[in-house]
Structure 1
Amino acid sequence: MLVTDYQFRSNEYRKGPIEFMIGLCFTFTSKDFDIPHMFSNSNMKCPIQKGVHYYIYKLSPNATNMPLLIPEGRWKLQLDFFYLNQYSALYVEWYSGVEYPITFG
């Protein structure tokens, strides 16, 4: 899986500094970014098998488990899924926003 981030700047989404490849099955076992909660309403399990219909329902992360230094603004996260690291199988574009509460001390 190829993960690429885009930030909304100058009236369009522009590629950001984050781009990396990660194994899909490794992602399912990760405790980061609230992944266990996000996949709690799904039947996604490794190894991925041919002929099985997979689903993910109510995919929504808990913001308290995200990294603290993400800049405010509008973001797009693009996930490209590859078969044998060569053939594009599907891609997902996930749009989100980051807002921090204003606290008066």
Structure 2
Amino acid sequence: MGQVLITGYQFRSNEYRKGPIEFMMGLCSFLLSEDYDIPHMLSNSNMKCLMQKGVHYYAYKVYPNATNMPPLIPEGRWKLQLDFLHLNQYTAFSIEWYSGVEYPIRFG
């Protein structure tokens, strides 16, 4: 019954503004996904699909590996916000990552 809302905010005009990245996926699909380096990010956690009431879940050292991000994200400073929703309505918790995207200049 859980969903994850993923929203990207690009730093423009001295503030983070909603960018071209926004999508929602089911919690189990998110936890089982091989994309975006999710298995690495959750390697130091006990979060598994079909979360149960009364169980204390933890996650630490949660950070993505840049090599597994989608290509062609515009350069600049970014905030990526993950909202974990219960019943598609109530926010259980949120995660905000601040990062930058730079592409190398290649000559020749």
Instruction: Name the amino acid aligned to 1:76.
Output: K
Question: Percent same amino acid at aligned positions?
Answer: 77
Q: Which range moved further: 44-53 or 95-104?
A: 95-104
Find out whether 1:62 has 2:65 as its counterpart.
Answer: yes
Q: How many angstroms apart in 2 are the aligned matches of 1:43 and 1:94?
A: 21
* Counterpart in the other structure of 2:13: 10
Q: TM-score if structure 1 supplies the norm length?
A: 0.89
Instruction: Name the amino acid aligned to 2:92.
Output: A
Q: Which range moved further: 23-32 or 54-63?
A: 54-63
Deviation of the 1:102 alpha carbon: 3.3
Find out whether 1:73 has 2:59 as its counterpart.
Answer: no
Deviation of the 1:8 alpha carbon: 0.2
Q: Which range moved further: 92-101 or 11-20?
A: 92-101
Q: Secondary structure at the match of 2:88?
A: coil
Question: Contact 2:32/2:49 (CA < 8 Å) preserved in 1?
Answer: no
Q: How many angstroms apart in 2 are the aligned matches of 1:94 and 1:12?
A: 15
- 5+ residue gaps, structure 2: none
- 5+ residue gaps, structure 1: none
* Counterpart in the other structure of 2:37: 34
CA deviation map 1:21-79 (0-9, x unaligned): 11111111111111111111111111111121111121122211111211111101111
How many pairs were matched up?
105
Q: TM-score if structure 2 supplies the norm length?
A: 0.87
